[in-house]
């Protein structure tokens, strides 16, 4: 079943007087949404007790929770001490995810830094193999762990690169951020055919079963020559992508993903808009 929801809490949630993410699951249920992504963007800012309480609220309201690991993970860092920190961020995120009762973890793979892209990607692949072994050792193999496509030219994470590292373990599944992909492609993600090409590529590289489980982030994003600049809302008519051609592609390939909206402040309203578009196709 395809699920729709926001990343975090938008302006409307707070404008209506809500202050805590504990209130988010029932608020989302009342809006007809059934997914919620909790982000540890700047660190682990929630106690285990509150994480457990949030997870229980999600279960009570039929909302499935996913987690975004801290943004400063970089598995292409040549400093081994920093790699260990990145591993710890991922394992700690998985521990919180387990407490919350969720199954999906999203993380940013890495950046090129001062290396060539080829050198950085080889290092990333090597560390993804180590991460696989660590996840097996820690007993998290029943979780879906999603390296994300990235939106800046110096970041690792084209959809081709993400597909390649997802071959390393059965529990690595792509997180496709179509706003990011559109930034890297400089606005060329326009038609259903454009989205079809991405799914055809994934099916050929990682198989149909894994492709059907992809995690999706969607928002319109302003971009420049070097890629992503800032997230926008669905009101923007200058930058893309549009959701309808993606929705048609999802239906065509019978993909049933999490679709998480990352619009700037209107993520719940725009998640509702996507759900309506999807259901009307």
What six digits make up the tokens of 198? 């991405």
What gap in Å lies between CA 84 and CA 166, rounded to an integer? 20
Rounded Cα distance between 263 and 232, Å, is: 6
DSSP state of 39: E
Contact 135, 171 (CB under 8 A): yes
Question: Which tens digit of pLDDT belongs to each residue from 237-272?
Answer: 999 999 999 999 999 999 999 999 999 999 999 999
For range 40-49, the mean pLDDT: 94
- In what helix (H) or strand (E) does residue 59 lie, and over which residues does it extend? helix 48-60
Residue 261 CA neighbour count, 13 Å, CB half: 29
What confidence tens digit (pLDDT) does each residue in 123-134 have?
A: 999 999 999 999
Report if pTM > 0.75: yes
Contact 109, 75 (CB under 8 A): yes
Architecture of domain 3-280: Alpha-Beta Barrel (3.20)
pLDDT tens profile 21-39? 999 999 999 999 999 999 9
pLDDT at 42: 87
Strand partners, 228: 223
Cβ neighbours of residue 71 closer than 8 Å, sequence gap 6 or more: 41, 42, 108
Dump pLDDT digits (tens) for 180-214.
999 999 999 999 999 999 999 999 999 999 999 99
* 166, two tokens: 């997802």
Contact in structure between 33 and 6 (CB atoms under 8 Å): yes
């Amino acid at each position: 079943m395809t699920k729709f929801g926001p990343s975090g809490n938008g302006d409307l949630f707070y404008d209506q007087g809500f202050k805590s993410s504990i209130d988010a699951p029932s608020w989302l249920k009342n809006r007809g949404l059934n997914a919620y992504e909790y982000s540890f963007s700047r660190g682990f800012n929630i106690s285990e007790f509150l994480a457990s309480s949030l997870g229980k609220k999600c279960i009570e309201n039929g909302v499935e929770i996913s987690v975004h690991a801290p943004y400063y993970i970089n598995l292409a860092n040549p400093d081994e001490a920093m790699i260990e920190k990145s591993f710890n961020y991922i394992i700690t995120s998985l521990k919180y995810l387990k407490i919350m009762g969720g199954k999906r973890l999203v993380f940013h793979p890495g950046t090129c830094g001062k290396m060539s892209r080829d050198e950085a990607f080889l290092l990333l692949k090597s560390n993804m193999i180590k991460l696989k072994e660590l996840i097996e050792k820690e007993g998290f193999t029943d979780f879906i762990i999603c390296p994300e496509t990235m939106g800046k030219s110096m970041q690792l994470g084209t959809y081709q690169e993400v597909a390649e590292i997802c071959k390393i373990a059965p529990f690595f599944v792509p997180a496709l951020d179509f706003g990011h992909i559109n930034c890297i492609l400089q606005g060329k993600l326009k038609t259903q055919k454009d989205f079809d090409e991405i799914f055809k590529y994934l099916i050929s590289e990682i198989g149909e079963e894994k492709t059907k489980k992809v995690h999706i982030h969607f928002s319109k994003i302003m971009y420049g020559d070097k890629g992503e600049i800032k997230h926008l809302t669905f009101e923007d008519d200058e930058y893309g992508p549009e959701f309808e051609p993606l929705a048609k592609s999802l239906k065509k390939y019978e993909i049933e993903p999490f679709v998480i909206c990352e619009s700037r402040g209107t993520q719940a309203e725009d998640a509702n808009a996507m759900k309506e578009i999807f259901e009307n196709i």
